[in-house]
Structure 1
């Protein structure tokens, strides 16, 4: 909608691999009267290292403003296990529903090098804010 500032971008870097996340509250998908709040988020993974990495696993830690916690683990992202050569990036979008008007997400990806070495890359913790939250932590 017009007049809204663009959503913030959160960034973290681990050993030359940058993760950028931009969450967005989904007004059309949310049903506040029913306690259903939905966000989309776009993730960009940029390989600034000198090695080729394949994203094999994801781990998300999601906490809503009522203190409920969800841990989500799985293979790859959005049904893919992208391989990132040096200088390349991969971008995808996904979504997160909550039963509260705000929350936070963060986590890590497991990347595997061509030699089988594993590396855990931090996903920055990002805020899921909706216009329906009356009080936000400062």
Structure 2
């Protein structure tokens, strides 16, 4: 019996951002934000997040590009119907900016095959804003 191919659109990404005034120094152009991301697997096969790519843009159109393995030191395997949540941070020189990017993932089926031997797929993370509480009022 052949399995149904995995649909990458079944991987969902939800983002919640928070300004961290205690880690910021606006007088020096230092604004720090936390973002909590929940990656959900709505498919019928386990998936693994292997790497990330971020573009972080401030109000001056200065872009920081970040690439790396996994997230917060992990390359989580997300089972069908479950999610993985993590919190990380970014620092901007302006009180408003945005992030966008992508995760590179694999379907971990069969589990005994090393992830680098499996085909990857990309999950796009749409732009989300980073801003101080009063910046968008």
TM-score, normalised to structure 2's length? 0.84
Distance 1:114 1:47 in 2: 12
Structure 2: segments with no counterpart, 5+ residues: 1-7, 110-117
For 1:98 and 1:63, locate their aligned partners in 2 and report how far apart those are by CA, in whole Å: 8
Cα drift, residue 114 of structure 1: 2.3
Task: Quote how far apart the aligned CAs of 1:18 are.
Answer: 0.5
- What is the CA deviation profile of residues 8-43 of structure 1, one whole-angstrom value per residue up to 9, with x for unaligned ones? xxxxxx521100000111111110011100000000
CA offsets, 1:70-110, max 9 Å, x none?
Answer: 11000000000000111111000000001111100010000
Q: Distance in 1 between matches of 2:46 and 2:133?
A: 41
Other-structure match for 1:73: 67
Q: Does 1:26 align with 2:43?
A: no
Please identify runs of 4+ aligned residues in structure 1 that moved more than 2 A: none
| Contact map agreement 1:32 1:132 (CA 8 A) in 2 | no
- Alignment deviations for residues 29-66 of structure 1 (CA, whole Å, 9 cap, x no partner): 11001110000000000000112111000000111001
Equivalent-residue separation in structure 1 for 2:104 and 2:95 (angstroms) = 30
Q: Distance in 1 between matches of 2:79 and 2:99?
A: 27
Q: What is the CA-CA distance between 1:132 and the residue it aligns to?
A: 6.0
> Once superposed, what is the RMSD of the aligned Cα atoms?
1.3
Match of 1:106 in 2: 100
- Which structure has the larger Rg? 2
* Number of equivalenced pairs: 121
1-structure distance, mates of 2:134, 2:84: 32
Q: Tell me which protein shows more helix as a share of its residues.
A: 2
